[in-house]
Chains A and B, each alone.
Chain A
Amino acid sequence: MLELSTHIVYKLQRTGVLVLGCSAGGFELLTHILQALPPTLPYGVLAVIHRNARYETHLEKKLADKCAIGIKAAADKEPIESATAYFAPAGYHLLVEPNRSLSLDVSEPVHFCRPSIDVTMQSAADVYGPATAAILLSGANKDGAMGMMSIHRAGGLCIAQDPRYAEIDTMPAAAVALGGVHLILRNDELIIFSKQLSNYTFRN
């Protein structure tokens, strides 16, 4: 059990969505986090990883067998269900509609990325406000830093992988430097943290 301060616990108690952002060097840890998330997780997960649209991957199918929560490729206008992780499809930004359904978008890449972590985080913060939580992992660019800032401003919870333990520290370090991060966790702490996420009762 990871000891968390009162204000973090408070934010977790009202969480309504969790955004996971991951790029180069973060995929293995992302897999472990998804495996650690309990099937009783009271909200949905939006996963944005940078991947090339050019190559067909069967990522969601492979992960689905390993995880207790549901794993899906996000579909346009699909409602967000609890205990389910929705992956942004390669080549599309993943957005959240005010009625809490998902939307896809092929507008300009952000930081040369589509899907962009910033875009999904900002969109989630627009809809869920203080009920938005996010975890940002290893990566080689600065995508996610602005998004974490948006979540921070909306009153949500922002967690970064400890850059010292990240395979490529640019992405989490950029978020920490920008000042939006509430909590910095080591890889093993992130796993323990993920396991205990159903312990906080949903008060919304």
Chain B
Amino acid sequence: MAISFGHIEELIALVDNVYSFDLGGYSRASLKRRVSRILTIYDIDFAGLKYNLVNSPGFFNKFLIEITVNVTEMFRDPPFYKSVREEICPYLATFPHIKVWSAGCATGEEVYSLAIVLSEQGLYNRSFIYGTDINTAVIERAKQGVIDLRKMKTYSDNYLQTEPNSSLSGYYTAKYDAAVIRHELRKNILFSTHNLISDGVFNEFQLITCRNVLIYFDTAFQYKITELLHASLTLFGFLCLGAKETLASNDLKNKFRIINKTYNIYQKIA
């Protein structure tokens, strides 16, 4: 069944009323696609979706799992990781302790990629990486550190494009069709749920990555989230947005200097 933008507004109001969960700042075009997808997955129409949300215990969690986009890769945008290594790591090396936050990390591939870069720069042992996402199911998967072995071919190609000194296969153990991330790489990582809209600052970081998250929000919420990220950074800490995400307002632009224009890496200066 085709749904309209009117249905989406109705759904946003319902989820707010019943669960006090605010979907109001989500991009409507993307939300509409996700909701259509949920109707297909559960083989229900819009009335059925509303009925389940109100009357079926546990359905809201399933709904939340599908409403966010959880597509991620290891070393997505290889030049970005090269820039982290060459432009950010020398700065990070000057801090006694390095706290990193990957906000909206989905199944954790980015967290493990950052761990590899930090490890290769000799910084991992004094680093701690927090991976957070609104979606509890993907956080559970991230904690497992198990990646489909078939995807590792693409990830290896990505990794090689960052011009590293080693090979990706050194960081995981292949078991049947799974790649298990090695323990040494996982010891300084914590995965946890966090809602960028309703939860606040929880630590002070030297590096925050929030890539391909802002695009799912309208401009008002993009601003709100970026303010939270700014408040969570130490002075001269780094903020990395997605390749198509820039700082929205002049107010925020004045608080950062641009480190990498193509991959939207910023350093907090005020």
Structural contact, B71 and A103, CB atoms closer than 8 A:
no
Residues of B within 8 A of A54 (CB): 161
- Judging by beta carbons under 8 Å apart, are A126 and B69 in contact? no
A188 to chain B, nearest CB (A): 36
A95–B215 alpha-carbon span in the complex (Å): 11
Kindly state whether residue A98 has any CB partner on chain B within 8 Å.
yes
The size of the chain B interface, using a CB distance under 8 A, is 23
A135 lies within 8 A of chain B by Cβ: no
Query: In the complex, which residues of chain A have a beta carbon less than 8 angstroms from the beta carbon of B249?
Result: none
Interface segment among A22-30, A61-69, A105-113, A176-184: the answer is A105-113
Task: Name the B residues within 8 Å of A97 (CB-CB).
Answer: 27-29, 218
Bound CA–CA A108/B218 (angstroms): 21
Q: A103-B27, A104-B244 are in contact. Are A76 and B215 (CB under 8 A)?
A: yes
- A47 touches B (CB below 8 Å): no
Residue in A89, A104, A105, A127 whose beta carbon sits within 8 Å of that of B33 in the complex:
A105
Among residues of B, the one whose C-beta sits closest to the C-beta of A75 is B244
The residue in B33, B161, B218, B246 that gathers the most chain A C-beta atoms within 10 A of its C-beta is: B33
- Cβ of A123 under 8 Å from chain B: yes
Quick check: is B204 within 8 A (CB to CB) of the other chain? no
> Distance (Å) between the CB of A193 and the closest chain B CB?
29
Q: Which residues of A contact B219 (CB under 8 A)?
A: 77
* Chain B, range 23-61, C-beta contacts under 8 Å to A: 27-30, 32-34
| Contact yes or no, B215 A106, CB < 8 A | yes
Question: When each residue 110-129 of chain A gets 1 if its CB lies under 8 Å from chain B and 0 otherwise, what string results?
Answer: 00000000010001001100
Q: Summarize A's interface: helix, strand, loop or mixed.
A: loop
Contact of B71 among A89, A106, A119 (CB under 8 A): A106
A92 within 8 A of B: yes
Kindly list chain B residues whose C-beta atoms are within 8 Å of the C-beta of A105.
27, 29-30, 33, 69, 215-216
* Nearest Cβ on chain A to B166's Cβ, whole angstroms: 21
Residue pairs across A and B with CB atoms within 8 Å: the count is 58
Interface residues of B in 101-154 (CB under 8 A from A): none
Q: Does A96 contact B (CB under 8 A)?
A: yes
Q: Please, how many residues of chain A have a CB less than 8 angstroms from a CB on the other chain?
A: 21
Q: Considering residues B27, B71, B161, which has the most beta carbons from chain A within 10 angstroms of its beta carbon?
A: B27
Inter-chain contacts of B27 with A (CB < 8 A): 95, 97, 103, 105
Bound complex: CA A98 to CA B212 (Å): 21
Question: 0/1 per residue, B205-219, Cβ < 8 Å to A?
Answer: 000000010111011
How close is B110's CB to chain A, nearest CB, in angstroms? 12
Would B30 and A107 count as touching, CB distance under 8 A? yes
Smallest Cβ distance from A114 to chain B, in angstroms? 9
- Which residue of A has the minimal Cβ distance to B154? A54
Cβ of B33 and Cβ of A107 under 8 Å apart?
A: yes
**Contact for B69 among A98, A106, A119, CB less than 8 A:** A106
Pairwise interchain contact B30-A95, C-beta atoms closer than 8 A: yes
Nearest CB on A from B211, distance (A): 9
CA distance A91 to B161 in the complex (A): 17
A104, B215: Cβ atoms closer than 8 Å: yes
Residue B232 is within 8 A (CB to CB) of chain A in the complex: no
Q: Complex: how many Å from CA A127 to CA B216?
A: 17
Extra A-B contacts (19), CB below 8 Å, given A77-B222, A98-B5, A126-B29: A76-B214, A91-B243, A95-B27, A96-B29, A98-B29, A103-B27, A103-B30, A104-B215, A104-B244, A105-B30, A105-B33, A105-B216, A106-B212, A106-B215, A107-B30, A119-B33, A123-B29, A126-B5, A127-B29
11 A-B Cβ contacts within 8 A? Answer: A75-B246, A76-B215, A76-B244, A77-B218, A89-B243, A95-B27, A105-B27, A105-B216, A106-B71, A106-B215, A127-B29
